[in-house]
Amino acid sequence: MRAIKRLVHEVRADWLIRPRRAEVTRELERHLGGRIRLRPRGARGRDTIYRVDRAGIPLGVLRLANPHRRRAQLERSMPFRWIEDDRQRIAREHDAFAAGAPSGLTPRPLWQCGDALLVEHVRLPRGIDLLRASPGRFWPLNIAVTTALARLHRLGFTHMDASLANALVAEDLSRVVLIDFEYGPAPDLSSAEQRLYDHLRLLESGMKFMPETVRGEIDGWVATLGSTLDSAALAADVARLRPALGRLLGPRGFAPELACLVPALGER
């Protein structure tokens, strides 16, 4: 019954956003110079994602805020926050993309209009899809994304929802493109805490897909983490991060392995 109610709500939300979607389509057609088609690619929170095509050729990916969609309330103890204001959420993603695009770390923003953002279409699979196809690549994939996160941090941005699902990754791991910046840090979470959380969240989110056969191969990722985290992040207070890291710091997690870098993670 819950699934049916959720489906009904999703259909209703998509119906109600049609007038705004039509306005955005007309604005994009003026900007791009010609007829386009929006192909739904899923949803993120209160946003709907479309691939923008012309004659079957992808021109970009559009994020359109949909205020008719519901969003589950997060526990206030979490170190991240869903950015409720549609324009602020779109602006955060635009700014992150604008900063990361020159280095190839994010898609290039092409157009913005308050509640909508168009970015380039990047022809790379999601990291989570590569993992599902080849589970034994768990640690190499995480090393590649951790390295990309460290480069993003040096540009002054944190992700706050890092995962293999939010990273486009080349088959040979030579390129990682970070996407989906709709979360922000909790109030007063320091930049050092944010940087540490990004890396820990990456591993936390992927552990449910980790084959048991590779559990003992964490050393390479820990070494990469140690070479990328700055002293402030290594010494960051982890108390505010713990509520979001239950799997990572639990009995079947990696607290002992990580405590060699961040001693506070080994404390109870």
Amino acid at 62: L
Q: What is the CATH number of the domain that holds 214?
A: 1.10.510
Q: Tell me: do 244 and 151 sit in the same domain.
A: yes
pLDDT tens, 151-181?
Answer: 999 999 999 999 999 999 999 999 999 999 9
Q: What is the mean pLDDT of residues 174-201?
A: 97
Domain contains 257: yes
Q: Tell me: do 240 and 145 sit in the same domain.
A: yes
Q: In the chain, how many domains are there? A: 2
Coil, strand, or helix at residue 109? strand
**Residue 213, pLDDT above cutoff 90:** yes
Last residue of a domain, one of 69, 84, 114: 69
Amino acid at 44: R
pLDDT tens, 221-256?
Answer: 999 999 999 999 999 999 999 999 999 999 999 999
Q: Tell me: do 7 and 136 sit in the same domain.
A: no
Q: Tell me: do 157 and 261 sit in the same domain.
A: yes
Q: Where would I find the H helices in the chain?
A: 2-16, 18-32, 86-100, 127-133, 138-154, 191-206, 219-228, 231-234, 246-249, 255-259
Q: Tell me: do 131 and 198 sit in the same domain.
A: yes
pLDDT tens, 130-147?
Answer: 999 999 999 999 999 999
pLDDT tens, 76-130?
Answer: 899 999 998 999 999 999 999 999 999 999 999 999 999 999 999 999 999 999 9
Per-residue pLDDT, 4: 75
Amino acid at 92: R
**Residue 73, pLDDT above cutoff 90:** no
Q: Tell me: do 142 and 252 sit in the same domain.
A: yes
Q: What is the mean pLDDT of residues 168-197?
A: 97
Mean pLDDT of the chain: 94
Domain contains 108: no
- CB of 105 within 8 A of CB of 177? yes
Per-residue pLDDT, 68: 86
Domain contains 251: yes
- CB of 247 within 8 A of CB of 211? no
Q: Tell me: do 147 and 41 sit in the same domain.
A: no
Which residue, 87, 99, 107, 110, is CA-closest to 27?
A: 110
d(CA 116, CA 100): 19
Across 215-234, b (16+ Cβ under 10 Å) vs e yields: eeebeebbebbeebbeeebb
Percent of the chain topping pLDDT 90: 86
DSSP state of 261: T
Domain contains 59: yes
Domain contains 78: no
Last residue of a domain, one of 20, 54, 69: 69
Domain contains 110: no
- Tell whether the torsion through CA atoms of 202, 205, 209 and 211 is positive or negative: positive
Q: Tell me: do 172 and 257 sit in the same domain.
A: yes
Q: What is the mean pLDDT of residues 6-29?
A: 89
Q: Tell me: do 253 and 151 sit in the same domain.
A: yes
Domain contains 81: no
Per-residue pLDDT, 2: 67
d(CA 26, CA 33): 10
Coil, strand, or helix at residue 65? strand
Which residue, 92, 116, 87, is CA-closest to 106?
A: 92
Q: Which residues form the domain of 186?
A: 127-266
- CB of 206 within 8 A of CB of 138? yes
Q: Please give the structure tokens belonging to residue 113.
A: 């209009």
